Amino acid sequence: MDRLGQTAPPGKSYESSITVRFGDTDPYGVVYFASYFRYCHQGVEDLLTHLGFAPEEAFKSTQEGFGLPIVDAKCSFMRPVRYGQKMRLRVCLLQARTKAMTFGFYFYPAEEDVLVARGEATLVAIDQNWKSRAIPEKLREALAPYMPPMHTS
């Protein structure tokens, strides 16, 4: 089964809460698909903040000369979620390579363990010239408890 076929995060995950806002929904009152990508980014930001990184340190550090742009993202939707509902988002690392890492996202209603959506996003470490580079050691060390075995690339 592919990674998007899983109903629970493999390994350790970090959980954050989401409340569906009116602006997150489409004309039918259901969470608009693009809102899930914002929730995914929020989940990575919450995890990194939990690990002691401010967004300006993790996503774009001018001091250390690196950034972490998202280069691939996907999401599958199983059940509609509506305005005002609360969800739990579990964030994990699905894959870690020398220069890139792929986060997994698993969405559940606040009070249930029924998967309503799942996704993933790949971030690549880049230098000031937009060339790929190794993920900074400080970030790698902080993510170590969530990291699957290392692959090189």
Do 43 and 102 meet the contact criterion of CB atoms below 8 Å apart? no
The domain segmentation of the chain, as residue ranges, is 3-147
pLDDT at 3: 54
Question: Which of 7-16, 34-43, 71-80, 119-128 is predicted least confidently?
Answer: 7-16
Give the pLDDT mean for 117-144: 93
Give the pLDDT mean for 122-143: 93
pLDDT at 77: 95
Q: What is the CATH topology of the domain spanning 3-147? A: Thiol Ester Dehydrase; Chain A (3.10.129)
pLDDT at 56: 79
Give the pLDDT mean for 29-36: 95
Residue 11, pLDDT > 60, answer yes
